[in-house]
Structure 1
């Protein structure tokens, strides 16, 4: 990870993945001017999909949600540069890539300080040809091996001591090669490394949240999912110490 510092701004980046002007890559107009915007998605704000020199990427500005977000849309209390949400997510993604978990590669992240607050942006790999589980399960059932692959990726995530505090089926993607990816690591964290013979409280909480997400979308969007077969297959993939 390289670091670029200028007036009231710090940028962290992977020089192997970005050759564009590092101070401009967080500005959507920079990509529009070059004709390199390849799409967008709406959430709390607009995520822009852009084509860098190395790979397609997703550009996201950090925005608050909930009631507080209606008052303060995109400012966060500043303490230290390395504790900004953009820096923490960049480093966590690097940690997971090194642990061979299928997550987007972090390309660049930025924090801009404004007196006692800061704003932040992040640029990550766009997973091409991928859909989230909600979209897929609205159209078809998934087979046992795919659920096992999902469980395996969650297990790798946990083996890397990463607590995904919002693990749900919107944040699990499957690409055109049937490869499973996990996304959206804002506010997630690395837990202390402990030798445990059973699941920790945070690991159980992640799995319970994921199960509730399946159950919720069955009622809300009528996804094609059955607990007694599909969840059992996912648990099987999670519990296998060696995945083939």
Structure 2
């Protein structure tokens, strides 16, 4: 059926109600190293990018956090080729478990990481585990928060997921603490999300800032958010092109 033959009210919400088992596209905050800067003319450092739409959203946007979860990911160092070595989607159990990975670090050290059966048993989430020869090195495993977002001002846009890890974990945990004190479910809350300048030992980068805007007052939009939330609770969250998150 051609889009032109659809009633106007159906054309306004393409894709809603048909999540199925598709992977959710990413909503990225572009950094100086983001490949989109070279691929798209309208991509800008410090602005948000919807990967499915191939669209620059700008430095701020209102979102609803439909679903939030977190996991651990063991990344192969970028200088050794990058990619996911292991993951603990439930935050506890590694896949693959009881597996050793020997990797070369940027300083030239060869180190071995062993997943063990659980994250806690492996110790890869603890400081000093990235380089066992350096007790001040960061954790080998990165805690990653995934936040599925819908867009109250662009309800025809498909949902997209933020992936916050490393230097953006603080922003994620602060947001979660703010949501916990509210009586409304997260998918009934509208947030103003903005890009802000931040600094780390590696230099300046762009980070996330969230502010509470108010409750969702559009009942159909709220009900659609609720439906999506129930879907992710039942089926879990699959993030499209997750391996590219290593470069965030």
Give your verdict on TM over 0.5.
no
Shorter chain as denominator, the TM-score bin is under 0.3
Q: Higher helix fraction: Structure 1 or Structure 2?
A: 1
Output the TM-score relative to the length of structure 2: 0.23
Output the TM-score relative to the length of structure 1: 0.23
Q: Higher strand fraction: Structure 1 or Structure 2?
A: 2
Q: Which has the higher contact order (CA 8 A, sep 6+)?
A: 2
